[in-house]
């Protein structure tokens, strides 16, 4: 078990958002987290990454309690978080944006496994071609790739991705899907919040569906694909 949430309750002031949320991710798994707008998916990722602190429950990562840690401490433990809003630096080049990710990196026992600019450019040649371009001049898909790869430069073992294909044209959705597949192939576990069901089916082995701050379905992604009731009730608009 890499990550295990148990009865997590998160509030914004008096609003009780996450209600006894429990789920887990095994090593090297890609797990989907689904649900309509406003059900608490982003709050779940923020609770794991330390952006918000749950009021109760536990979040164990490789046996360590994350609840109460600050975001930079969670990063140091090996969790990379890519929020919904793309946070690139528009006036810095692609290369400079990536080097910022290197600054907060954690040490790897196996230095050959560490992400370097060369390794990132090998895997994502589209970024290499744009290395001297200003971040702000990239397309939406390239910016999304840049945020994801910058997070990789911190050498995470687990990546939290919040709607990486949101607002992208279909061709770019495929590009970003390919990027995520490559990242998984390099041995990283992924928790993927995603509204695009095809992307979920393509990338994840298991999924959890949320509604009103609770987990209402868990199963393999194939089971979810066949479960028209759950899809109709909790996913389709
Ligand atoms: N900073 C905040 N302060 C108060 N309420 C918030 C804040 N962020 C999100 N919420 C509320 O929490 C609920 C869950 O939001 P969120 O986790 O962003 O949902 P999702 O990612 O599933 O769309 C929503 O009702 C939203 O309005
Ligand atoms: Mg969200």
Ligand 1 centroid vs 15 CA: distance in angstroms?
A: 9
Q: Relative to the alpha carbon of 38, which ligand is closest?
A: 1
The full length of the chain comes to: 237
C-beta 17 within 6 A of ligand 1? yes
d(C-alpha 214, C-alpha 120), whole Å: 37
Which ligand 1 atom sits nearest the alpha carbon of residue 46? 17
Residue burial 158-169, b: 16+ Cβ < 10 Å; e: rest: bbbbbbbbbebe
With a threshold of 0.85, does the pTM exceed it?
yes
Give the residue, by CA position, lying nearest to ligand 1 atom 1: 12
The whole-number pLDDT of residue 141 equals: 84
Q: What is the mean pLDDT of residues 173-195?
A: 93
d(CA 237, CA 227): 16
Q: Is the CB of 15 under 6 A from ligand 1?
A: yes
Could you read off the pLDDT of 70-111 as tens digits, one per residue?
Answer: 999 999 999 999 999 878 999 999 999 999 888 767 766 566
Q: Which atom of ligand 1 is nearest to the CA of 163?
A: 21
Residues 6+ apart with CB under 8 A from 181: 202, 203
Task: Domains for the chain: give ranges and CATH numbers.
Answer: 3-235 (3.40.50.300)
What is the rounded average pLDDT of the residues 134-163?
92
């Amino acid at each position: 078990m890499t990550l295990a949430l148990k009865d997590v309750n998160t509030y914004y002031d008096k609003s009780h958002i996450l209600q006894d949320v429990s789920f887990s991710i095994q090593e090297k798994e890609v797990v989907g987290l689904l649900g309509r707008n406003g059900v608490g998916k982003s709050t779940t990722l923020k609770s794991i990454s330390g952006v918000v602190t749950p009021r109760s429950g536990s979040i164990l990562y490789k046996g360590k309690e994350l609840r109460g840690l600050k975001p930079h401490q969670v990063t140091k433990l090996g969790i990379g978080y890519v929020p919904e809003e793309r946070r690139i630096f528009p006036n810095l080049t692609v290369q400079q944006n990536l080097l910022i990710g290197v600054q907060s990196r954690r040490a790897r026992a196996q230095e050959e496994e560490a992400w370097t600019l060369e390794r990132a450019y090998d895997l994502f040649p589209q970024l290499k071609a744009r290395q001297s371009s200003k971040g702000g001049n990239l397309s939406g898909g390239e910016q999304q790739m840049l945020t994801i790869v910058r997070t990789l430069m911190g050498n995470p073992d687990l990546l939290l991705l919040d709607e990486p294909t949101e607002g992208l044209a279909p061709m770019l959705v495929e590009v970003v899907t390919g990027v995520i597949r490559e990242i998984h192939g390099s041995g990283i576990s992924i928790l993927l919040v995603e509204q695009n069901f095809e992307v979920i089916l393509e990338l994840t082995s298991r999924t959890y569906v949320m509604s009103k701050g609770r987990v209402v379905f868990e199963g393999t992604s194939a089971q979810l694909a066949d479960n028209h009731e759950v899809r109709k009730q909790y996913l389709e608009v």
